[in-house]
A and B are shown apart, each in its own frame.
Chain A
Amino acid sequence: MAYSEKVIDHYSNPKNVGTLDKAKVNVGTGLVGAPECGDVMRLQIEVDEESGVISDAKFKTFGCGSAIASSSLATEWLKGKTIDQALSIDNMDIVEELNLPPVKIHCSVLAEDAIKAAINDYRVKNGLPEMVAEKKAH
């Protein structure tokens, strides 16, 4: 199976690889997937407490090229967005942007899950109720 140019570009030059200090109250961490399934994504957001805008986002991903590209793209999209705007990121947006084939759609779902998990972690840390995520089929 051939990869799209955008997947290759994110894989070769991933954006925002790294780790934020998860002890900080304005950092939300989402860890999704499982090693047995061949994909684990950790996505972190740092929220500017005054503006409520995501000022930084980092990821680390264990997975195929499409999983790496999906999480790299997600971190790019997250930066500069408010939490509400971030919640509106849909996995199909990622599929479209990266031209993912049907067998790789689960990578985009995982990225969306990682965004939601990171936001939830941030909310819980800041005394807000956890959102009940709608479950997407992987």
Chain B
Amino acid sequence: MELKLPIYLDNNATTPMDPRVLEAMLPYFVEKFGNAASRNHSFGWEAEEAVDYAREQVANLIGADAKEIIFTSGATEADNLALKGVFEMYASKGNHIITCTTEHKAVLDTCKHIEKQGGQVTYLDVQADGLIDLAALEAAITDKTILIAIMYGNNEIGVIQPVREISKIARKHGVLFFTDATQAVGKVPVDVNADGIDLMAFSGHKMYGPKGVGALYVRRKNPRVKVTSQMDGGGHERGMRSGTLNVPGIVGLGKACEIAMHEMEAEGKRLAAMRDRLENALLELEEAYVNGNREHRLPHTTNISFKYVEGEGLMMGFNKNIALSSGSACTSASLEPSYVLKALGLGDDLAHSSLRFGLGRFTTDEQIDFTIDAIKNTVLKLREMSPLWEMYKEGIDLNSIEWAHH
């Protein structure tokens, strides 16, 4: 196959839409534009039918019942609805939530908000490989605990948390279990019953569907879970999320789920093989380290630190041809390096030196070959330019130097 440039390896940020998804959506903009809540005419029926069908497609992918799917504007809204909704609905039972430090900001910042509302939140540290400590989780549960919120697969390092073990602990103590599965749904098999999940957030644009649509799974049986709505209005989505349904988006999310259901297994294997090839080739460089557990991991993700070179400087060497992300401070507005990598216990220097690779459905072997060469060459070139590399090669302990922190 011919090499296609530029190469997109930032699929954890967003994925391109699958053309089959677009095709499914197109009729719902102009021709079938009805409001799914219009009960008295064919335009409404047509839209409602499309939404019902999509709800089945989504539910099928995660082993849920269609009635358990609440459509939202995306995973951020679903995270907010799950956390705030449970906090408010179960206020009489308790006010304590347990989460972990490597969660997405949509969970962490919502938890901060809940703390301001009088909630108690425990932020569990993760171990050096990014996995939570199950004993620490269980020990954190109190008689006021109402919810455990632990993500399925991490967006930066791809680490998959022991969801089944977490849900067993939650069940044992009568606590609800919510998981942000934005990076996992459609990439690895997720089954809300086998996994023991009570609430689960995910979104369309991370699985080759459209942006602006996502879903919250809310368990209806054993136990029946309820959330207080965070958006008041017409009482859509069983009263949990008002607002006219985004019919084309929902149709797209449904189609994306259906495609994932059929192709996920083969795709996961293909991407894992490509990811491993990329990773192993890059690890041939000296002082290169994979961040996070390599075994319990999403198939399409790897995060590697190239010691003694800085991430943004590194990306500049190839960002005309390759799009990916860095944990470097320089790539963020805050000038702080990745809090996820720091949570693993990485020093700021290693966090600054990291690259995140997110492979996807449209990544080719030729692109991986090109990426391997480009990154290796740039790392070698920048190390020749790096005073830290020179010191390392001379055997100078960088920790022995008094750096002028600015």
Contact = CB atoms under 8 A, between A and B. Distances in A.
A6 B281 CA distance: 33
Nearest to A110: B406
Nearest to B386: A62
A39 B311 CA distance: 11
Contact of A38 (B310, B386, B390): B310
A101 to B, nearest CB: 12
B309 interface: yes
Of the candidates B348, B386, B387, the one having the most CB atoms from chain A within 10 angstroms of its own CB is B387
B154 interface: no
Contact of B406 (A17, A37, A62): A37
Contact of B385 (A33, A39, A60): A60
Contacts of A45: none
Contact of B403 (A14, A35, A103): A35
A72 B385 CA distance: 10
A4 B89 CA distance: 53
B126 interface: no
A31 B405 CA distance: 12
Contacts of A67: 310, 313
Contact of B404 (A34, A38, A63, A103): A34
A36 B349 contact: yes
* Chief secondary structure at chain A's binding surface: mixed
B352 interface: yes
A61 B385 contact: yes
Interface residues of B, number: 31
Interface residues of A, number: 32
B313 A63 contact: yes
B403 A62 contact: no
Contacts of B385: 14, 17, 60-61, 68
A35 B316 contact: no
A92 interface: no
Contacts, number: 90
Contacts of A124: none
B316 A64 contact: yes
Interface in A102-121: 103, 106, 109-110, 113
A36 B352 CA distance: 8
Contacts of A138: 406
Contacts of B311: 38
A42 to B, nearest CB: 4
A65 B331 CA distance: 11
Interface string A23-46: 000000001111111111110000
B388 interface: yes
Contact of A37 (B312, B313, B401, B405): B405
B398 interface: yes
A11 interface: yes
B70 to A, nearest CB: 37
A3 B316 contact: yes
Nearest to A117: B404
A31 B404 CA distance: 9
A19 interface: yes
A65 B319 CA distance: 12
Interface in B112-156: none
B406 A34 contact: yes
Contacts of B389: 62
B330 interface: yes
Contacts of A31: 387, 401
B406 A65 contact: no
A62 B390 CA distance: 11
Contacts of A110: 406
A41 to B, nearest CB: 7
A40 B387 contact: yes
Contact of B352 (A19, A38, A61): A38
Given A36-B405, A38-B329, A39-B310, A62 B316 contact: no
B313 A35 contact: no
A16 to B, nearest CB: 11
Closest 7 CB pairs of A and B: A34-B403, A36-B348, A35-B349, A138-B406, A42-B387, A64-B312, A65-B316
21 contacts: A11-B316, A31-B387, A33-B403, A33-B404, A33-B406, A34-B406, A35-B352, A36-B352, A37-B405, A38-B312, A38-B329, A38-B337, A38-B348, A39-B310, A40-B387, A42-B387, A60-B387, A62-B310, A67-B310, A106-B406, A138-B406
